[in-house]
Amino acid sequence: MLPVLKAADFASDQDVRWCPGCGDYSILAQMKKILPDLGVPREKTVFISGIGCSSRFPYYMNTYGMHSIHGRAPTFATGLKSTRPDLMVWVITGDGDALSIGGNHFIHLLRRNVDLNIVLFNNRIYGLTKGQYSPTSTEGQVTKSTPMGSIDHPLNPLSIALAAEGTFVARSIDAHVKHLGETLKRAANHKGTSLVEVYQNCNVFNDGAMAYAQEKKQRADNVVELEHGKPLIFGSKSDKGIRLVGSRLEIVNLADVAVDDLLIHDEKEPNPAIQMMLARMRYPEMPEPIGVLRSVEGVATYNDQINEQVELAKQKKGVGDLQKLFSTGDTWQVA
């Protein structure tokens, strides 16, 4: 009989070296909390990270892990899952690691639908290198590398994932711990690539950047929690809703509009058009969505298909001989 694991069993013996008050602690705690419920042994669990504050994560998990190179965690993870499909693989990344130097790898991982999970820590800043603007920094944001304010248009991780037709796309918040744990668990149980963007406060270099969503007293008026099959209702008094009018979304007051007129969330719709509209809702003009925007089942995974091709090749041609392959075809002898 296998031992029953607890959250503490997934904690390594390493000192956690994030800044006191960093949102990363919350993500780490929720990850350790949900893993025992998944029933996957520690020796079958792997965390792969790139470079950044978030990328210390594998050191703090009592599982297998790899601290890889900047932006390339998706490539290592793809190779590992393809050759060891029995493993549960997590990619831990940040807004800079995933969306700047790693942007191309991030997109291709999503479109291939490799059966693994991505947790993207989004604090809208480069924290490890001490406060430069990142791909998700807001326009006008003053940082060490943008002293007169950023003129870049920020990337939206959810929009990118939906454009790549990722099969599971979600967002949560470091301070909303129950929601975060439930979202991570859903991502882990999805067959295919799952992306969970987490709004994570960097209290040293970008403190309060997402306070409108993170602080409980503000959250209800600035965030709409998505639930499949339910209308989009938000507000501290649950008195506001989101309605679809033609090709745009608008805020309505429930004193003036019936609940039946509100948009009903459908995370299982294969066409990502409305899900993309939700992803584009940005504070302060609109409440920002948290929860699962998209969860589409039945899409073939990259790792399953590549292993099917390998088995088919073996059936047709037999098991390969690497040394024979090296000596086949055009060869040259170098004097």
Give me the mean pLDDT over the 236-245 stretch.
97
Tell whether the model's pLDDT for residue 63 goes beyond 80: yes
What is the pLDDT, as a whole number, of residue 320? 86
What is the pLDDT, as a whole number, of residue 4? 86
Tell whether the model's pLDDT for residue 145 goes beyond 60: yes
What is the pLDDT, as a whole number, of residue 302? 98
> Cα 43–58–293 angle (5° rounding)?
95
Tell whether the model's pLDDT for residue 3 goes beyond 80: no
Q: Give the Cα separation of 105 and 89 in Å (integer).
A: 16
CB 42 within 8 A of CB 9: yes
Q: Give the Cα separation of 142 and 138 in Å (integer).
A: 9
What is the pLDDT, as a whole number, of residue 2? 61
What is the pLDDT, as a whole number, of residue 128? 93
| 106-135 tens-digit pLDDT | 999 999 999 999 999 999 999 999 999 999
| 12-53 tens-digit pLDDT | 999 999 999 999 999 999 999 999 999 999 999 999 999 999
Q: What is the DSSP letter of 43?
A: G
| 149-188 tens-digit pLDDT | 999 999 999 999 999 999 999 999 999 999 999 999 999 9
269, with CB counted inside 10 A (0-12, 13-18, 19+), is: middle
Tell whether the model's pLDDT for residue 148 goes beyond 70: yes
CB 49 within 8 A of CB 73: yes
What is the pLDDT, as a whole number, of residue 333? 80
Which residue, among 126, 91, 87, has the nearest Cα to 106 in the 3D structure?
A: 91
What is the pLDDT, as a whole number, of residue 278? 98
pTM: 0.95
| Mean of pLDDT over the chain | 96
Tell whether the model's pLDDT for residue 1 goes beyond 60: no
CB 72 within 8 A of CB 38: no
What is the pLDDT, as a whole number, of residue 231? 98
| 273-327 tens-digit pLDDT | 999 999 999 999 999 999 999 999 999 999 999 999 999 999 999 998 888 888 8
Which residue, among 214, 188, 195, 209, has the nearest Cα to 98 in the 3D structure?
A: 195
Tell whether the model's pLDDT for residue 253 goes beyond 70: yes
Instruction: Work out the percent of the chain whose per-residue pLDDT is above 70.
Output: 99
Instruction: Work out the percent of the chain whose per-residue pLDDT is above 90.
Output: 94
What is the pLDDT, as a whole number, of residue 330? 81
Length of the chain: 335
Structure tokens at 107: 């997109």
Instruction: Report all structural domains of the chain as residue ranges with CATH numbers, in order of start.
Output: 1-209+300-334 (3.40.50.970), 219-289 (no CATH)
